[in-house]
Amino acid sequence: MPDHYTLCGIFFSALIALVALYNFVFARKSHIVSSAASPQCMNSITTASGECRSPDSSGEVDVIIVGAGVAGSALAHTLGKDGRRVHVIERDLSEPDRIVGELLQPGGYLKLIELGLEDCVKEIDAQQVFGYALYKDGENTRLPYPLEKFHSDVSGRSFHNGRFIQRMREKAASLPNVHLKEGTVTSLLEENGTIKGVHYKTKDGQEFSAYAPLTIVCDGCFSNLRRSLCNPKVDVPSCFVGLILENCELPYANHGHVILADPSPILFYPISSTEIRCLVDVPGQKVPSVSNGEMSKYLKTVVAPQVPSELYEAFIAAVDKGNIRTMPNRSMPAAPYPTPGALLMGDAFNMRHPLTGGGMTVALSDIVVLRNLLKPLRDLNDSHTLCKYLESFYTLRKPVAATINTLAGALYKVFSASPDKARSEMRQACFDYLSLGGVFSEGPISLLSGLNPRPLSLVLHFFAVAIYGVGRLLIPFPSPNRAWIGARLISSASGIIFPIIKAEGVRQMFFPATVPAYYRTPPSKQE
């Protein structure tokens, strides 16, 4: 007989499925505008077939990219370099000012090199990052990236997000066949179930429609188009509170610092030669108010006592300076609705908790996968055949994306404080396991850095931590109570990682070769 929790799980799964179906039906109606019913285009070119097109595209476009952030800019340069005619539409082309997207893991830097974009981290005062320092209850351990087999230039990079994006945009715009346009995309244009392009507005209120055989949506975590192309269920487990520390040095130079604080982690890493970013994780969707001083009080009374002594004074000074920023942390598994003529990428498509700094690595890896899939294709106009072919993208991206996504979600839960004794033991076991060094730290750090994105290795290390935790409880003198805590620790570990793996897709994550799309070849009908 199934127990109460199992029956509840079945009931809620059915309920979620019904809600998802409802959202799917009505979201497509509200977010996709049929080209036949689209409003009259202003200041546009009308083709012989009666289509309204933006004058800057004139129908001579292979790909429309919505958004020019990290993913959109890198993709535009990559496709443009391959000879595609690319039209990029970005809401605001001025330099962004964000508190996340500032740490690129070594695996992401290798992808940047593969895409020919490594010079985008130059001339922006970017800092090399060689690993992490982990702090807990007054103890600390250094966890270096395993970079011995790579060229000396290979490491992580940290920087101001906006500077990096502007360099990427400049690189993309330098290609004659890439056109960047400032405008807000309001809807996708659909005809007989196929996306034909987008409808957008410029800042001065002019309306245009742009058409292309393939539209790639990269408009970030706030995407207003994702409902049309994927299951849009977004989880918000916590918020980041961001500060910039000045006139201080990290205990371990050129390392990210993770403090296993109460109630959840605190991060420090350099973003320039004179600035250190601090991100304080606050669980839940609400944070203390900045305007009435509650946030300042929270940071000084709850957070500051847990900050390493070397950073304490600079942390207090940053709080007093008052430039406190907040941002919700979002998590959304990749659950696409394959749609002819359109594709989702970047944070519009797939997000994970930013604790591990893996977002840009996933995005750049996805671009490499997509570039390789599109390279043999000359013609993108057979949208239905292309859509079927590009289903392989969702499978081929899984080793990197699913590993980083799962690790981010699991580590956040393990690193957060909990009144549950079993969870507390798991947290301590993780710190002690990583402190052992050698293969015990090298394996997990290889996963986190994107240098060894293997899902099976992730699961093995995760449960090795759990078993290590049980061993700590039972040696040298086991007791019934400690054995019970050990059993609950294993159960808790399973409850953390298995739901994340299920959301990522067990078959695609561990057995991609069994997915038919894995072997899908390029459409044969090419000129």
Query: pLDDT of 333-362, one tens digit each?
Result: 999 999 999 999 999 999 999 999 999 999
pLDDT at 521: 87
pLDDT at 477: 85
Q: Round to whole Å and give the CA distance between 360 and 129.
A: 15
In tens, the pLDDT along 454-478 reads 999 999 999 999 999 999 999 988 8
pLDDT at 525: 55
pLDDT at 59: 53
Report H helices in 48-198.
70-81, 106-114, 161-173
In three-state secondary structure terms, 420 is coil
Contact between residue 295 and residue 289 where contact means Cβ atoms under 8 Å apart: yes
In tens, the pLDDT along 500-526 reads 999 999 999 999 989 988 888 888 754
Average pLDDT over residues 414-425: 96
Tokens describing residue 126: 């970017």
Q: Is residue 17 scored above 50 in pLDDT? A: no
Q: Round to whole Å and give the CA distance between 174 and 201.
A: 24
Q: Round to whole Å and give the CA distance between 374 and 390.
A: 9
Contact between residue 341 and residue 210 where contact means Cβ atoms under 8 Å apart: no
Q: Round to whole Å and give the CA distance between 283 and 240.
A: 9
Contact between residue 99 and residue 327 where contact means Cβ atoms under 8 Å apart: yes
**pTM (global) more than 0.85:** yes
Tokens describing residue 491: 């159960």
Which of 77-96 are b and which e, b meaning 16 or more Cβ less than 10 Å from the residue's Cβ? bbbbbeebbbbbbbbebeeb
Which of 431-444 are b and which e, b meaning 16 or more Cβ less than 10 Å from the residue's Cβ? bbbbbeeeebbbbb
Q: Round to whole Å and give the CA distance between 484 and 169.
A: 56
Rounded to whole angstroms, what are the CA distances from 100 to 202, 231, 357? 27, 24, 8
Note the residue count of the chain: 527
Q: Round to whole Å and give the CA distance between 215 and 294.
A: 45
In tens, the pLDDT along 474-496 reads 998 889 999 999 999 999 999 99
pLDDT at 359: 96
Give domain limits for the chain. Answer: 4-41+401-512, 54-124+160-233+332-395, 236-331
Q: Does domain 236-331 match CATH 3.40.50.300? A: no
The architecture of the domain spanning 54-124+160-233+332-395 is 3-Layer(bba) Sandwich (3.50)
Distinct helix (H) and strand (E) counts, the chain: 15, 21
Tokens describing residue 398: 């899984």
Q: Strand 342-344 and strand 214-217: pairing?
A: parallel
> Which residue's entry shows tokens 């899902």?
455
Share of the chain above pLDDT 70, in %: 88
Give the max Cα distance, the chain.
85
In three-state secondary structure terms, 187 is strand
Closest CA to 509 of 401, 424, 383, 413: 401
Mean pLDDT of the chain: 89
First-to-final CA distance of the chain: 61
- Number of other CB atoms surrounding residue 194 within 10 Å: 16
Q: Round to whole Å and give the CA distance between 367 and 390.
A: 13
Q: Which residues pair with 201 in a beta bridge?
A: 184, 207
pLDDT at 120: 97
Find the angle CA(101)-CA(104)-CA(105) to the nearest 5 degrees: 135
In tens, the pLDDT along 389-407 reads 999 999 999 999 999 999 9
Domains 54-124+160-233+332-395 and 236-331 share a fold: no
Share of the chain above pLDDT 90, in %: 84
Closest CA to 403 of 374, 443, 373: 443
> Which residue's entry shows tokens 């079993």?
422
Enclosing H/E stretch for 493: helix 480-504
In tens, the pLDDT along 118-150 reads 999 999 999 999 999 999 999 999 999 999 999
Contact between residue 509 and residue 458 where contact means Cβ atoms under 8 Å apart: no
pLDDT at 25: 37
Average pLDDT over residues 176-195: 96
pLDDT at 518: 86
